[in-house]
Chains A and B, each alone.
Chain A
Amino acid sequence: MFRRLHEPANAVTIQIDGSPVRAAPGDSVAAALLATGNPVCRQSPASGADRAPFCMIGACFECLMEIDGVPNRQACLVPVREGMQVRRQARPTPVGAVASPADKVAS
C-alpha cells in the first residue's frame, strides 16, 4: 500500500506469515507490513473483521501482531530486526464456541 521514496541501504529481511519481506533498518514492523501489498495485521477480536495499522503512534492498538512468538505487540513501535518472525493475528476463539466441560457434567 506504501512505496519507498528510495531503496533502503543495508536492508534487512523479516518473515511475515512465513514470507520474506525486505525492510529498512529503523522501520517499524507496521511500516514493513504497509510496504507490502497486504496491510492487514490482524482480525478484530470482537467480530473477526480484518484490521490494518491506523494511527502509527502507538495509540490505537490496531496494529497488534505476533512478533517472535509474543502476541499482541504494537507493530508500529517495534523496530524490524533481521530474521524477525511476524504473524498476523486471527480472532481468538470466542467463549461459548466450544462446549463447556461443566455443561457435559450437568447433562
Chain B
Amino acid sequence: MSAPGDFDVIVIGGGLHGCSAAYHLAAARLKPVVLEKHVVARHASSASAGGVRRLGRDPAEIPLAMASIEMWHAMRATLGDDGEFRATGQVRVAENVDELRQCEARAAQVRALGYDHEVVIDRKELRRLVPAVAEQCIGGLYTARDGYAFPFKATTAFRLKAEALGAVVKEDTRVEAIERSGERWLVTTNRGPFRAPVLVNAAGAWGAEIARMLGEEVPIEPVALMMMVSGRMPHFLDPTVGSMGRKMSFKQMQSGTVVIGGGHRGRVDPLTELTELEFQFLGESARTVAAIFPLMKHAPLVRCWAGIEGFTPDELPIIGPSKAVPGVFHSFGFCGHGFQLGPVVGSITAQLVTGGKTNLPIEPFRVDRFAGSPPQA
C-alpha cells in the first residue's frame, strides 16, 4: 500500500453482499475497502426477513443456492459466528388440491434438474412439522436443511471476520464520482479518495446508480418490501412457512417473536432513502396469517417496517463482470431474495476478482441481459 486511500479492491455497499465479498476477498489475501454511504446493513440487509431458502427458487438460482446452503451450515466454523442461522427447514403450504398439484409439479421440475432438496409432504407430515397450521392446509413442499438467520447479525459476522482478515470498512462514506486513472479506479467520496485496480458494485437498490457512473445502464426499480414482527410468543413453530397461493413468509425467531413478510410493497423515496408503509396491504398480510395460523389472531404486531431493495425486470440479480469497463464486478439487484445467496455470491465475486472465472453458472445474471429492452419509466 503506497497511500492511505490505496487498496486492492473497492467494494461499494456495506450490506450482506458487500461484506461477504469483502470477507472472501480478504480470505484470498487481498486488501479490500468497503465504502458504505450510511452504516453497515442499513437497508435490505437489516430489513430482510432473514429466510435462508432454496425452496421455490428460480431454476437459474438453484446451483448458487445449493452451494450457499453449505456455506450457511459451515458459517460458525468459517466466521466464528453463525448469524443466528437455524436450519429448521422451510415449508410452503398448499391450501387446496390445485396448490398441492403445483407442489408436485415443482418437485418434479427440481428433480428433473438433478436436485432432490424440495419434497412434497402430505397433510400428516405437514402437521408434524407445523402443528399450528390451519385445518384447510392439506400438504406442501419442504426443504429440510433450509432455515433462517438474523440478517443484521449475519451481515455483521461477515463484516467482523473481513475486518479481522485486514479488510477496511468505511461507514458514512458516500461515493460521489468514479473515474479511471491509469490501471486503477479512483473513487471520490465525502471522506476523500480511494484507489484500487478493481471495483465491486454491491450497492443494492443503488447499484444501478453506481453502474451508471461507469457508463452502464441497468434497469433497477427501488422497492420497499414490508415486514411485520410480533411480540414474543410461546414457542409454536420451527420451520419458516410460506404459501403456494398467497403472499406470506412466516417464521418464529429465537426470541419468540414472529417475523412476517411475503413481498407486500410499501412506498419508497430513493432520494431521502425513507419508506412509507401501505397498511391496506399489511391488512391483507394479517388476514393471510390469521387464515393459515389461527393462533395468531391475538398476537400483537409490535412494529412494521420496509427495507429498500433493488428489483430487476426479470426478478433475477445482477452478478458478474461489467460489460462496459474492465475491473468491475457487479453483485446487486437481488429482488428481495438475495439473503440466502449472500455467502456464495461473495465467494463468486472473489473468484472473479482473483482468477477471472467461477465454477458456478452465472450467465443468467449477466448485467447486459436487458440491453435493448425499453428503459424504465
Q: Chain B CB within 10 Å — which of A45, A95, A96, A97 has the most?
A: A95
Which of A9-17, A28-36, A98-106 contacts the other chain? A98-106
B252 to chain A: which residues have CB within 8 Å? 95
CB-based nearest B residue for A98: B235
- Min C-beta distance of B99 to chain A, whole Å: 22
Residues of B in contact with A, size category = 20 to 34
Q: A102-B89, A102-B129 are in contact. Are A95 and B253 (CB under 8 A)?
A: yes
CA distance A101 to B89 in the complex (A): 10
B300 is an interface residue with CB less than 8 A from chain A: yes
CA distance A18 to B175 in the complex (A): 64
Q: Which residues of B contact A (CB under 8 A)?
A: 87-89, 128-129, 131, 144, 231-235, 238-239, 252-256, 298, 300
A46 to chain B: which residues have CB within 8 Å? 232
CA distance A71 to B87 in the complex (A): 30
Q: Chain A interface mostly helix, strand, loop or mixed?
A: loop
- Min C-beta distance of A71 to chain B, whole Å: 6
Determine whether the beta carbon of B232 is less than 8 Å from that of A102: no
Q: Chain B interface mostly helix, strand, loop or mixed?
A: loop
Q: A100-B238, A102-B87, A102-B88 are in contact. Are A95 and B256 (CB under 8 A)?
A: yes
Determine whether the beta carbon of A92 is less than 8 Å from that of B235: yes
- Min C-beta distance of A46 to chain B, whole Å: 8
A71 to chain B: which residues have CB within 8 Å? 298
Residues of A in contact with B, size category = 10 to 19
Determine whether the beta carbon of A97 is less than 8 Å from that of B235: yes
Instruction: Mark interface residues in A66-82 (1 if CB within 8 Å of B CB, else 0).
Output: 00001110000000000
B298 to chain A: which residues have CB within 8 Å? 70-72
A94 is an interface residue with CB less than 8 A from chain B: yes
A93 is an interface residue with CB less than 8 A from chain B: yes
- Min C-beta distance of A3 to chain B, whole Å: 33
CA distance A97 to B81 in the complex (A): 22
CA distance A94 to B236 in the complex (A): 9
CA distance A101 to B254 in the complex (A): 15
